[in-house]
Structures are given as structure tokens and as C-alpha cells.
A and B are shown apart, each in its own frame.
Chain A
């Protein structure tokens, strides 16, 4: 367990360094790190400190938030298919963010963007819990997610449809595909407080999620407060996913892929899966963000698109496995 976390920390550190060193400017590694640490070489230092460092930081933060939220949602709903992107939380957060952008609220007041995204995410989590119930089977959870995603997509289309400015529309559409390109420290500071709050809340659910393996009644008889656990999962997920979506757009499948891959290494324990998934999510998003820069360096390939290519086949595989298990 400790060894797994150590290995994951090393992987995240390596990918973080790689993310700092890959980019169109083409500096040498020694020159880049020197500029980053000492500030020598003005242009290089500027690129390193104002473009690549915030991009790498956001990659790690967004990945950790999405991985952690996925693991917590799966643990709470006791369903390996629950994921912020698939059950409509990311798209609802995107809806909130787009409303803040289109109404000019985000321009008037910087925290409006993450707050609006958080509100969108909160509504979606509440709806999923309400529709699927904490005991909801795979089918109910996925159906609730489809309904919420469809509603969020319709409302997003409506906002874009009614938008008076065609440039803002195309910008928003690209933003929604999810990307870490051209982000600055403003985005880091905007998202960090909400993410940290979400991480703390989700970290506090570990023992409760372990107990919930036995069902709600058994968990309750072990001295666990289910209302407190539910509140922590709802608010923690909304804060983490809302802030991620506000700065990076909708990036799906991280919360599905990472817990699925890491579950065997923590003996299936949902509590131990939380820190592992946070680190795994950071590694996956950093790796994908390096990949988009290497695959098509001059076409601005979107991170959300790459993640969907990785995640969707795995999702199909999981559905196939679930079907076989219940057949």
C-alpha cells in the first residue's frame, strides 16, 4: 500500500518534469530547468514560469481531483461505472461555467467562474443521488447520468444558440472539449482553494467508504454517520469537479479509468483507493497532456478528446464485464 503510493508519487513527479520540458519553444532540459529555478534568460524564464509551470500544475491538480472524485463516487454508490464525466457532473459544471462566461459574470468577478461550475456540479450530484439512491444498481446510476447529461447538453446548446457573439460560441465549444493549453497562474489560484476543500472532504470519507462495502445498515451499525458521509461525498465531488471543469473544461473518463486500474493493487478497499486514485489521476492527465503536445504539436489537440479515446473503450469493456457478471 505505502509502496504503491510511493511508486505513484515517483510516476507523477517524472510526468510533471516531462510536462515542464515538452513544448513548442524547444528549449533544452538543462536550460529550461535553470530558467525555471533561477529566472536566468528572460524569454525562457517567462515561458517556463508563466506557461509551462501553471500548465503542469493544473494537469496534476485536475487529474488528482477527477481521479479522487471518481474513486469516492464509486465507493459511495458501490458501482464501478460511476464517474463524474459519465453521470453528467462534468457537463453540468461546464453548463455553470458557460453561463458565467456568456453572461459576463466571470469577467466582472473572477471567482464567479469556479463558483458557477461548482453550483452546476452540485445540482448534478444531488440529482444522481436522488434518482439512483445510494443503493442504486448500475443501470439506475447510468440512466440517471444519461438523463442529467442530456439535460445539461440541451441547456448548453440553448445558451450557445442564444449567444449573440459567434466568436464567443466557437471559443466556448473548443473550451468545452477540455484542455490545459494557454492557462496561467490566475487559473491555478482560482481553482486551488476549491480543489483543496474538495480533496479534504473526500479524504475524510475513506473509513466510511470502507464500511459501506457491507451495505448501509452494516456500516451504520459500525458507528458510521451516513448523512455526514453523503454530505462529504456530495460537497467534495462538487468542489473538486466544479473547480476542475471551470479551469480545464470537461475532461471525462479519468475518474473511470484510474480507479478501475488501481483497484486490484489496493485489494479492492475503497478507502485505500482514494489516495491512489488521486495520484493515478494526476499521472494520467499529465501523461495525456504531454501526449497532446507530442502527437499533433501544431494543431492544438484537445485533452478531453484524447481522454475519451482512452476511456470510452474501457467503459465498453466494463459494461461487457458487468453484463456477463449479472447474466
Chain B
């Protein structure tokens, strides 16, 4: 069973392919890290998967109608927008919109999902505070909680941990890994290759719109791939606590 299936997906910007014949499948239990330098096409790929951009090729998520898509996949955009001073709990409640009939108020199941999402992101104490008054990192956690409250088999997240302090980076990635281990799936784009190596079950490396490598972290983060795509060298060590990865220098 697959939760996301993509075949030869291509997005053009003018003459130039920004996402170029991308194919991959994501199954239950996978926490997929989408990595690649700036401009590699990660965000464009996400937006094309969700049907926000014109694209050719096949993607089962695009083929669903908007409501079915909202039940299948939660999307966490990179831009952290919170337009109005809404209390944290109310904002997380927005994640329940796909589950509510027209005009219905949140029921017990919705309230449970909201409380669970707040607790997982350690936001219970903030529940009544206006979200716009929180710090940037706290707002990021509120938005992650909103996506968790949507309670979907698949979560797509575009750089969700950028700007978080180390403890919350770790707890957010551990949460994504735990969700995947529960039999759901997460696709998360990251610039921190150390976090990617440690928490993702699989990495997809993008470069100039193409998939350069796809597989377990140790097979993707090879010295050759790192030098060619990122222009860096790195130190990598297999430890009892998992793979430790640290970029060391710039390759000329």
C-alpha cells in the first residue's frame, strides 16, 4: 500500500523545468527527508504534489478532489503566516476544518485531536495566548500542531524546523519520526542534514529539479553526492544513537 505515488512529475517555469521527471512512492512507516540546496525545487515539488501548480506526469494526491486531499494529506508551508491575533487553541482548531460538516462546531473527537496536538508540541500552557504574540519558533510549533490536528495519513512539511531552538528541532523531528512509526508517513524538507540523517528513514536528494539519489540516509549522504550537489565534505559516524553527520568544509 502506498500513501503517495508520483510518476514523472514535471513542472515548467517558462522553458525551464523546475521539477524534472520526478518519480517516487511513499509507503506507511516512512519518514522521508527531502534535501537539496536552495533552488533545487523542493518547495515547487511539494506545491505540485498538492495541486497548487500546473504540472505534467502523474501524482495520486493531485488527482483527488480538494476535500479528499485535505483528509489524506496535511500541508505545512514554509511561509509561517498567522494573519490575525487568534488564540493558539483556536488556530490549531483550523486543522479540523476538513473533518467538520458545513456549519458544524468541533465535537469531542475534534477536541481530543486538538488537545493531543497541543500536548505533542508542548503548547498546552500557551493555549489561550494570541498566536501572533509568540516568538517565531513558538509560532512554528503552533503551525506544526495545526497540521498534526488535521490527523491525516500523510504529512507534507516544508522546512518545519528552521528557526527552532535545538531542543524543539529535536522534539519536532522525533514527533515526525514517531508519526511515521505509527504507520503513517511524513515527507519533510530540511536543510539540516544532521537532523535528516538521524530522524529520517529515507532521504530524497534533489538537485536542479531532478532526484539525484533516493534511499536510506547512509546511501544518499555519500561523499560524492555531497561534493557534487552541496559542494561540501562531511564527517559521518555510525553510533549506537544513530547516524551522526556533520558538514565540515566547502569543496572547491
Contacts and interface: CB of A to CB of B under 8 A. Distances in A.
Q: Is the interface of B mostly helix, strand, loop or mixed?
A: mixed
Contacts of A270: 83-84
A267 B83 contact: no
A102 interface: no
Given A220-B52, A222-B70, A222-B150, A267 B86 contact: yes
Contacts of B79: 215, 217
B83 A213 contact: yes
B95 interface: yes
Given A221-B50, A269-B90, 17 more contacts: A213-B83, A213-B91, A214-B82, A214-B143, A215-B77, A217-B50, A217-B52, A217-B79, A220-B52, A221-B69, A221-B73, A221-B75, A222-B94, A222-B97, A223-B67, A268-B84, A270-B84
A225 interface: yes
Ordered nearest first, which 9 A-B pairs have the shortest CB separation?
A223-B70, A215-B81, A221-B75, A78-B83, A268-B84, A268-B85, A223-B67, A217-B77, A268-B86
B98 interface: yes
A222 B86 CA distance: 18
A210 interface: yes
Contacts of B66: 220, 223-225
A138 to B, nearest CB: 12
Task: Among A207, A210, A214, A220, find the residue whose CB has the most chain B CB atoms closer than 10 A.
Answer: A214
Interface string B94-113: 11011000100000000000
Interface residues of B, number: 32
B83 to A, nearest CB: 4
B143 to A, nearest CB: 7
B73 A214 contact: no
Q: How large is the interface on A (under 10, 10 to 19, 20 to 34, 35 or more residues)?
A: 20 to 34
Given A217-B47, A217-B75, A218-B75, A223 B97 contact: yes
Interface string A206-236: 0100111111011011111100000000000
Contacts of B28: none
18 contacts: A78-B84, A207-B97, A213-B82, A214-B81, A214-B94, A215-B79, A215-B81, A215-B83, A217-B77, A218-B75, A218-B143, A220-B50, A220-B66, A221-B50, A221-B74, A222-B95, A263-B85, A267-B87
B130 interface: yes
Contacts of B84: 78, 213, 263, 268-270
Contacts of B74: 221
A268 B82 CA distance: 11
A211 B67 CA distance: 14
A224 B90 CA distance: 18
A268 B87 CA distance: 8
Interface string B50-89: 1010000000000000110111011111010111111100
B146 interface: yes
A223 B90 contact: no
A48 B226 CA distance: 84
Contacts of A78: 81, 83-84
B14 to A, nearest CB: 20
A25 B8 CA distance: 79
B63 to A, nearest CB: 15
A68 to B, nearest CB: 17
A220 B76 CA distance: 11
Given A268-B85, A268-B86, A211 B69 contact: no
A180 B176 CA distance: 60
Task: Among A78, A221, A224, find the residue whose CB has the most chain B CB atoms closer than 10 A.
Answer: A221
B77 A223 contact: no
Nearest to B89: A267
